[in-house]
Amino acid sequence: MPKATDEVGVAEFKAKATKLLPRVARTGRVLRVLKRGKVLVEVHPPRQLRPDPFVGRARGAASEMGDLITPVDESWEADAE
């Protein structure tokens, strides 16, 4: 079943966009912006995005092995020069 739509002229959209766009998100109704009676653009409500399964996948895979900032007391070959 297609969603209900509202139509508004491009001049009115330009003047009231800050009020019209949140209404689209809140009501779920598509907003058609017309220019000379023809559809210029359709504004659709945002999709419900699923959380990205990749984010957080490595949680708990790393562990702290000690102090990484304090210099070690070992000589390195690079220090020999």
Domains of the chain and CATH, by start: 1-44 (3.40.1620)
pLDDT of residue 81: 63
d(CA 57, CA 48): 21
The pLDDT score that the predictor gives to residue 62 is 81
pLDDT on residue 1: 43
Provide CB contacts within 8 A for 34, sequence distance 6+: 7, 8, 9, 10, 40
Helix, strand and coil in the chain, % to nearest 5: 25, 20, 50
Residue 9: per-residue pLDDT: 96
Along the chain (81 residues), what's the average pLDDT of each consecutive run of 10 residues?
Answer: 80 96 92 96 86 78 80 75 63
